[in-house]
């Protein structure tokens, strides 16, 4: 293979939408890190900036570069050694390159070239290994740094501000690379590497990304275009079932439609809710316990107040933006999957008796789509406001936190109308607006941390003005899209039938 073919290997192995998303997130993370370094007044701001870029690096290697193993498996089974060698060479090129370029960019602003390079190398190798590990080990793998940090000081993980961080991270980085190479080799030599299950690597879940299917803006980012029935079959037995069918029937159209939609819209029993909540609460409890134990070992039991303040800020970050954005993305993804089907499954729902017709049916459908997500987002909103009140945030910070919740809910309402109305914008407008909304929500959430941590006051007036203008633009765009979706839904003869039917 020539140099051009070797450089194009990762972008041909991954699906185009995922590759573009990885590159865009990497560029935005680098830009956001530099912007945060210019606006923030914290002395250790270079660590936060490096971690922002590091998470983008981990995403790029976990979801884009890891797809090269799929191409290597095909090359081995087709007896194409030159192609398999080209895949390995591309990784040896992109590995140092993806660390060197952001290290130079961040190092020119903050210095600390070696420490930044070590941190980015750990993120990149960790993201790559995360995709090659079995699914049940992938979640535990990212708890490892926090676990090491919770150990006593003589055995714990040193801070990037300590002088021996580089010498400590070098053998860890080498171990991550060797572990990834071992997983790569064992995956290539398996008799049936495409078998599904929780013991299979996460990267094998990307095998279902068929390039022959039509691109859907909400299903074409990460994962596959598998229908919900195929996704259910991949779940373990303990996650099956749990649907609450007591309130369904001819006189209850909203619960009936939620059962028909399935996924995140499915009404669950108490046991089903416990199963879903356990997937989120248990890792969070482990995180809190490890963080608390870490603070006690380093500062003693008198550090409880600091633990509560830092824990409140962590919960604020997780629930305030990423929780609401994840709920919006998950619901819109599954909604797009339902209406993207080209077979007769959706038209069959039009035959369900007792759902009503005309605008009555359309209103019931919108309630079935909006209720599950908006209720959970309302709970997160109450939690965010309670934490903000407990931390004595001023009104400006509370307004920005409130906007993060309302922005995520606005995406659910507007794009829900667009999907069922059959007037979803094209690929690039939807992608651009999604990225713009994610950046605006994320930056608005982190604004309270840019000021004095004791008073949580905002001191960057120029950034506030830019964010305020961005929220005005986003609100106008969402209102226009919601109006377009509502008009499309009103003109549609039946929400479950094709537009031309």
Task: Give which of 75, 64, 81, 53 is closest to 130, Cα–Cα.
Answer: 64
Identity of the highest mean pLDDT range in 80-84, 268-272, 294-298, 478-482: 478-482
Q: How far apart are CA 253 and CA 248, in angstroms?
A: 7
* pLDDT > 80? residue 228: no
Contacts of 214 (CB under 8 A, 6+ apart): 340, 342
φ, ψ of residue 473 to 5 degrees: the values are -65, -45
Residue 390 CB contacts under 8 Å (≥ 6 apart), including other chains: 312
Tokens representing 217?
């803006």
> DSSP label at 54?
H
CA atoms within 13 A on the CB side of 284: 14
Taking the C-alpha atoms of residue 120 and residue 116, their distance in angstroms, rounded to an integer, is: 6
The whole-angstrom separation of Cα 376 and Cα 315 is: 15
pLDDT in the model for residue 260: 80
Buried b (16+ CB within 10 A) or exposed e, 468-500: eebbeebeebbeebbebbbebbeebeebbeeee
Nearest-10 crossing angle of helices 395-421, 461-491: 20
For residue 478, what pLDDT is reported?
93
How many whole angstroms separate alpha carbon 268 and alpha carbon 285? Answer: 23
- Least confident stretch, 366-370, 409-413, 444-448: 444-448
Lowest-confidence range among 76-90, 116-130, 279-293, 351-365? 279-293
Rounding to the nearest 10 degrees, give the CA dihedral for residues 210, 215, 220, 225: -40
**Residue 499 pLDDT class (50, 70, 90 cuts):** low
Going by pLDDT thresholds of 50, 70 and 90, the confidence category of residue 178 is very high
Largest Cα separation within the chain, whole Å, is 71
Residue 390: strand, helix, or coil = helix
The share of the chain scoring above pLDDT 90, in percent, equals 10
- Kindly report, residue by residue over 42-88, the tens digit of the pLDDT: 777 788 888 888 888 888 898 889 889 888 988 888 888 888 888 98
Report the alpha-carbon distance of residue 244 to residue 144 in Å, rounded. Answer: 37
How much is the mean pLDDT over the chain? 76
pLDDT: which is higher, 420 or 225 = 420
Average pLDDT over residues 160-188: 87
Nearest to 84 by CA among 190, 13, 139, 143: 13
Is the per-residue pLDDT at 213 higher than 50?
Answer: no
Q: Answer with the residue of higher pLDDT: 39 or 333.
A: 333
pLDDT tens digit string along 346-391? 777 777 777 777 788 888 889 989 988 898 888 888 877 877 777 7
Give the whole-angstrom CA distance, residue 170 versus residue 100.
Answer: 16
Which stretches within 263-421 are classed as H helix?
Answer: 270-299, 304-317, 324-340, 345-349, 358-390, 395-421
pTM of the prediction? 0.68
Examine the pLDDT at 281 and tell me if it is beyond 50.
Answer: yes
Residues 6 or more apart whose Cβ sits within 8 Å of residue 93:
6, 7
Crossing angle of helices 68-77 and 81-110, rounded to 10° = 160
Q: Do residues 122 and 38 make contact, with C-beta atoms less than 8 angstroms apart?
A: no
Q: Identify the top-confidence range among 190-204, 256-270, 365-379, 430-444.
A: 365-379
The pLDDT of 151-162, averaged and rounded, is 65
Closest listed residue to residue 244, CA positions, set 277, 269, 210, 207: 269
- Quick one: angle between helices 461-491 and 427-446, nearest 10? 140
Better-predicted residue by pLDDT, 388 or 315: 388
How far is it, in rounded angstroms, from Cα 162 to Cα 382? 39
Q: Burial of 358 by CB count in 10 Å (0-12 exposed, 13-18 middle, 19+ buried)?
A: exposed
Percentage of residues in the chain with pLDDT exceeding 70?
71
Would the CA dihedral through 165, 170, 173, 179 be positive or negative? negative
- Structure confidence at residue 457 (pLDDT): 44
Q: Is the pLDDT reported for residue 184 higher than 60? A: yes
* Phi, psi of 225, rounded to the nearest 5 degrees: -95, 25
Which residues are paired to 243 by β-bridges? 268
Q: Which residue has the higher pLDDT, 452 or 194?
A: 194
Element counts in the chain: helices (H) and strands (E):
20, 0
For 217, 360, 459, the CA distances from 440, given in Å and listed in that order, are: 19, 36, 18
Can you tell me the distance from the alpha carbon of 346 to that of 228, in angstroms, rounded to the nearest whole number? 13
- 437 pLDDT above the threshold of 70: yes
The two tokens of residue 41 are 């007044």
pLDDT of residue 430: 81
Task: Identify the CA nearest to 101 among candidates 30, 32, 161.
Answer: 30
Beta bridge partners of 134: 201
Mind giving me the DSSP string for 213-243?
SPP-TTTSSSS----HHHHHHHS-GGGS--B
């Amino acid at each position: 293979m020539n140099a051009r073919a070797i450089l194009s290997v990762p972008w041909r192995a991954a699906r185009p939408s995922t590759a573009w998303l990885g590159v865009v997130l990497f560029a935005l993370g680098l830009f956001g890190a530099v912007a945060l370094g210019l606006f923030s007044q914290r002395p250790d701001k270079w660590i936060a900036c490096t971690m922002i870029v590091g998470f983008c690096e981990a995403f790029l290697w976990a979801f884009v570069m890891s797809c090269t193993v799929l191409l290597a498996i095909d090359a081995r089974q087709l007896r194409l050694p030159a192609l398999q060698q080209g895949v390995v060479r591309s990784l040896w090129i992109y590995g140092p390159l993806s660390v060197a370029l952001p290290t130079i960019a961040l190092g020119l602003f903050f210095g600390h070239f070696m420490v930044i390079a070590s941190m980015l190398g750990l993120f990149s190798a960790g993201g790559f290994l995360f995709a090659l590990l079995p699914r049940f080990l992938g979640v535990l793998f990212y708890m490892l740094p926090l676990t090491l940090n919770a150990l006593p000081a003589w055995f714990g993980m040193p801070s990037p501000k300590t002088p021996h961080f580089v010498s400590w991270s070098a053998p860890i980085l080498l171990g991550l690379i060797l572990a990834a190479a071992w997983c790569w080799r064992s995956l290539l030599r398996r008799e049936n590497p495409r078998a599904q299950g929780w013991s299979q690597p996460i990267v094998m879940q990307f095998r279902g990304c068929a390039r022959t299917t039509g691109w859907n803006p909400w299903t074409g980012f990460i994962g596959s275009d598998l229908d919900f029935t195929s996704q259910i079959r991949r779940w373990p037995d303990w996650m099956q079932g749990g649907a609450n069918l007591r309130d369904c029937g001819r006189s209850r159209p909203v619960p009936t439609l939620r059962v028909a939609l399935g996924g995140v819209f499915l009404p669950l029993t108490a046991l089903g809710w416990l199963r879903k909540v356990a997937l989120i609460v248990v890792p969070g409890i482990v995180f809190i316990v490890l963080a608390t134990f870490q603070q006690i070992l380093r500062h003693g039991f008198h550090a409880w107040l600091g633990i509560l303040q830092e824990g409140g800020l962590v919960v604020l970050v997780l629930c305030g933006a990423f929780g609401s954005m994840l709920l919006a993305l998950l619901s819109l993804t599954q909604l797009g999957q339902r209406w993207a089907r080209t077979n007769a499954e959706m038209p069959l729902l039009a035959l369900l008796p007792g759902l009503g017709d005309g605008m009555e049916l359309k209103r019931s459908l919108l309630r079935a789509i909006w209720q599950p997500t908006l209720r959970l987002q309302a709970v997160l909103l109450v939690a965010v406001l309670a934490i903000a009140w407990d931390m004595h945030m001023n009104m400006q910070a509370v307004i920005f936190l409130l906007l993060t919740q309302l922005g995520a809910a606005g995406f659910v309402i507007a794009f829900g109308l667009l999907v069922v109305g059959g007037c979803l914008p094209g690929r690039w407008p939807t992608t651009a607006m999604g990225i713009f909304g994610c950046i605006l929500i994320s930056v608005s959430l982190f604004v309270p941390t840019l000021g004095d941590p004791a008073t949580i006051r905002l001191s960057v007036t120029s950034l506030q003005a830019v964010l305020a203008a961005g929220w005005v633009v986003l609100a106008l765009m969402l209102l226009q899209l919601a109006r377009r979706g509502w008009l499309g839904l009103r003109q549609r003869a039946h929400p479950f039938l094709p537009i031309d039917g």
